[in-house]
Amino acid sequence: MATSSDERPANRAGIPTGSVNGPIKNHVLEENIEQHPKPQSNPDPTVKSGLQEIILIDELPRDTWPMATAIRPNGDVLLPRLNGPELYSTQHPRIHSNRSPSSEPRLIHSFSDATSVFNICRLKNARREEYAVLTAIVDLETPEIYNTTVWRVVPSAEGAAEEIKPEVTKIADIPEAQFCIGMTSASERILLVADSGAGCIYRIDVETGMLSICHEDASMRPATRRDALGIARIRILGDYLFYTNASRGTFCRLPIRWTGDGQDLWPAGACETVASGLANADGMVITRDGAAAYIDSYITGTLWKVEIDCETGSGVVHVLRERIPDPTGMELVYAEQNEEPTLFVVCCGCLSQDWRDRVGAKWLNMLHVDRSIKVTVEIFITYEPNPDYVLGTCEN
């Protein structure tokens, strides 16, 4: 297992991998559990996890904030940077059989028309390996989010030289987007993007770029006007679209109807609440049999397992783990020889209390700005002579 020290050289992307708090180490969940405060809830020791293991993805330095990940077929881990315009690739020691001696993250692409990369997901395409990447420009001083865009990224083929640049093309702009976080590939033709602020899900034709609203519902909106986050993550399994709502603490599903060719989908009923009481529910994955979902909370570091009754749509919530260091996005990976999957959890790990105090409030207020209002501020300064002032000189 790889370890790291407090001082390490810059990686090939030119970003230091150490900080005043030191870099994040590679680890499996249980090895770092005692370093974080215990939430009020307690894990249920009688509940089987249904997982081979839980692996934390924390390959980027502490000053980098990833909120999602995609595991490539060759074992490489793709990590978008929320507090920067970059997409990175790294080789996690637990999953990469041909891991190179250097585990430093490698810059895949920097998006020139963005300041944040919010999400990544693999596109359903049997012909080649390609991904959808969600970016935007975030202005924390205004505050507002704009220029939300979805890109198609085709990385270099397995075994190709690192110098080969990925193929990057625009799929679509989302001009009316408020705060898009969740994203999933529904079919070879349709991509779905969840708008946490507007409380809706956009449908995007990945070939034409045509944009429309797939569905909007009160259960997708923020709980109150003071809350920034509504619908967070979305997944599709069979005839249901599942989603979490961060401020409402809910896990829901929407019945869907597929077209005859299986390439498009439409809502087929009312939204149903599967489970509630999941405070700050963010990352979410579902097992391929639909019997269980795993949901995490960045705020509390809690990982829940929700046992789902597929017929009734009701769910039973269990606390599976606690004190996970800042979990966000998640991925389930099934190995051919194992029926139980491995759960990969992305840990941002960079947001200290100081960061939250300085910047977090601006994120929370970002969605409640009336952009039609122009404010002009005039400042009047009056100078009064100081009788004690003594003329002096200074040196540059």
Domain topology for 27-368: Neuraminidase (2.120.10)
* DSSP H or E run through 108: strand 106-110
Two tokens at 202?
A: 């956009």
**Which is more confident, 339 or 337?**
339
222 contacts 357 by C-beta, under 8 angstroms: no
Question: Using the 8-state DSSP alphabet, how is residue 356 labeled?
Answer: I
Provide the 10 A C-beta neighbour count for residue 1: 9
Q: Is the dihedral of CA 298, 300, 303, 307 positive or negative?
A: negative
The residues with which 150 forms a beta bridge, in sequence order, are 134, 172
Provide the 10 A C-beta neighbour count for residue 68: 26
**Which is more confident, 326 or 185?**
185
Question: For 77-86, 129-138, 230-239, 250-259, which range has the lowest pLDDT when averaged over its residues?
Answer: 77-86
* DSSP H or E run through 361: helix 361-365
Among 33, 21, 1, smallest CA distance to 62 is for 21
Per-residue pLDDT tens for 93-137?
Answer: 666 555 554 567 889 999 999 999 999 999 998 688 999 999 999
Question: Using the 8-state DSSP alphabet, how is residue 32 labeled?
Answer: G
**Measured distance CA(197)–CA(116) in Å, rounded:** 17
**Measured distance CA(126)–CA(188) in Å, rounded:** 8
Provide the 10 A C-beta neighbour count for residue 219: 18
Per-residue pLDDT tens for 293-304?
Answer: 999 998 899 999
Residue type, 294: Y
